[in-house]
Chain A
Amino acid sequence: EDKVVQSPLSLVVHEGDTVTLNCSYEVTNFRSLLWYKQEKKAPTFLFMLTSSGIEKKSGRLSSILDKKELSSILNITATQTGDSAIYLCAVAPHPQGAQKLVFGQGTRLTINP
């Protein structure tokens, strides 16, 4: 069965700290790995990673995929209280067509002022 595991499940840091969130997966027919941020409601898309070793960056957030280790990390530097959210990792295991996303259980990140 396809599986995505995130760690830690919960993380509390102070504003300005740097955090690293982890995601590991076991899926057949791996296509892509996606990161989402979920605040109060809908998950919002952050990154999609398909190739190993290529960092994707958006402001203070960056992410990289390691296909050999079947894992990905999401880094957030100079954290702000607005970064507090649940961060979800998902993998698209289907080879083509409609993409079923398999989600991890999420990391709840809390940034204290």
Chain B
Amino acid sequence: DTAVSQTPKYLVTQMGNDKSIKCEQNLGHDTMYWYKQDSKKFLKIMFSYNNKELIINETVPNRFSPKSPDKAHLNLHINSLELGDSAVYFCASSITGTATYEQYFGPGTRLTVT
């Protein structure tokens, strides 16, 4: 009965490679997010999709491309990986409305670029 799941949990790859991280939620939420947590544990928003439409796109290199095939899935593709991309990437989901709703986070994907 996993609410927000991500695959893979760990990803070790070399500089210059292209990789993808997948996220799925079974909560019936209509909005999904990608966050990056650096080594200092700072969580920063990268992207947000609402009903498959890109809503938030923070200042993120265009090597990062999110894709939402449907509102239960949000994938993150990263091209030409760099050392500085090493971090934990969290997917989250929430309901959207006029109020704020809590976001539910996935277990994270620890990406290590060597």
Inside 8 A of A48's CB, which chain B residues have their CB?
100, 102
Q: How many residues of B contact A (CB 8 A)?
A: 28
Task: Tell me whether A45 and B102 are in contact (CB under 8 A).
Answer: yes
C-alpha gap A86/B103 in the complex (Å) = 17
Inside 8 A of B48's CB, which chain A residues have their CB?
98, 100
Inside 8 A of A36's CB, which chain B residues have their CB?
105
Report the stretch among A13-21, A53-61, A65-73, A101-109 that lies at the interface: A101-109
Inside 8 A of A32's CB, which chain B residues have their CB?
99-100
C-alpha gap A98/B57 in the complex (Å) = 12
B 77-114 to A, binary, CB cutoff 8 A, 1 in contact else 0? 00000000000001000101111111111111000000
C-alpha gap A102/B45 in the complex (Å) = 7
Nearest A residue to B94, CB-CB? A99
Report the stretch among B14-22, B36-44, B63-71 that lies at the interface: B36-44
- Among A34, A42, A99, A100, contact of B106 (Cβ-Cβ < 8 Å): A42
Task: Tell me whether B104 and A45 are in contact (CB under 8 A).
Answer: yes
Task: Tell me whether B45 and A41 are in contact (CB under 8 A).
Answer: no
- Among A97, A101, A106, contact of B103 (Cβ-Cβ < 8 Å): A101
Chain A residues in the interface with B (C-beta under 8 A): 31-32, 34, 36, 38, 41-45, 48, 50, 86, 88, 90, 92, 96-103, 105-106, 108
Chain B residues in the interface with A (C-beta under 8 A): 4, 31, 40-45, 48, 50, 55-56, 58, 90, 94, 96-108
